[in-house]
Amino acid sequence: MAKTLKIALDGPSGSGKSTIAKKLSKELDILYLDTGAMYRATALKALKLNVDTFDEKGVSSFINDLNLEIKYENGSQQTYLDGENVSDKIREPQVSMAASNISSLKCVRLKMVEMQRKIASSTSCVLDGRDIGSYVLPDADYKFYITASVEVRAQRRFKELTEKGFNVDFEKLKQEIEQRDYNDSHRDFAPLVKAEDAIFIDTSNMDIDGVTNAVMSYIKK
């Protein structure tokens, strides 16, 4: 089998990694997997079933039969839950916090990681998430840790959500991002962490093209 290219992009929410991952996947003509969407869909399932997103017993009762599918339609990832396209629904603010909570459960992470490794196994791809370089694909060819200050990340998320028509309070949004940062980096199993061999990029004062060019310059080397 031909050698495949694997790229891991990790970092906290709002760091711009999904935008960069999409650009890389286009430029390099490789698959893009947004792993956060998978945790978000799992959280949506729990919300629908009225299962507490911290309740490992409750979540483990549905996780193995979770009907979650990742499809690629017109070149973009679509997330299906129980046959329904939930790609927009999973972006709603209450799903964001629920996803951060549910992602701390080991039964959820084991299931998601198994699916992610399977999708990534036979194809060149770029995955974005929290634990891609440190846990999901420790042998990735390139690993990047993309971050930005909380203020800048909150501003980006605020813009994105208001453009989508959500009514959001900036201070509340910033607090939620801080809370998610804390949750994501303090969970016991596969937390958000910079892999030792990941390249660190602070995007606070960079635009998307600047970051993409910086990342591409490493890949072309």
CB 51 → ligand DC: shortest distance, Å?
Answer: 17
Return the closest-CA partner of residue 101 out of 179, 166, 161, 48.
179
CB 208 → ligand DC: shortest distance, Å?
Answer: 16
Instruction: Give the integer Cα–Cα distance in Å for 24 and 118.
Output: 21
103, 134, 147, 212: which one contacts ligand DC (CB under 6 A)? 103
CB 111 → ligand DC: shortest distance, Å?
Answer: 12
8, 16, 25, 35: which one contacts ligand DC (CB under 6 A)? 35
* 136-195 binders of ligand DC (CB under 6 A): 180, 184
Instruction: Give the integer Cα–Cα distance in Å for 96 and 107.
Output: 19
* Binding span for ligand DC by CB under 6 A among 36-44, 77-85, 168-176, 210-218: 36-44
Nearer to ligand DC, 127 or 215 (CB): 127
**Are 131 and 191 a contacting pair, CB within 8 Å?**
yes
CB 17 → ligand DC: shortest distance, Å?
Answer: 7
Instruction: Give the integer Cα–Cα distance in Å for 40 and 98.
Output: 7
Q: Which amino acid is at 70?
A: I
Nearer to ligand DC, 6 or 130 (CB): 130
DSSP state of 89: G
Query: Which H helix or E strand runs over 102?
Result: helix 93-102
Instruction: Give the integer Cα–Cα distance in Å for 187 and 103.
Output: 9
130 interacts with ligand DC by CB under 6 A: yes
Phi, psi of 158 (to 5 degrees): -60, -45
CB 221 → ligand DC: shortest distance, Å?
Answer: 26
Footprint of ligand DC (CB under 6 A): 13, 35-36, 39-40, 99-100, 103, 129-132, 180, 184
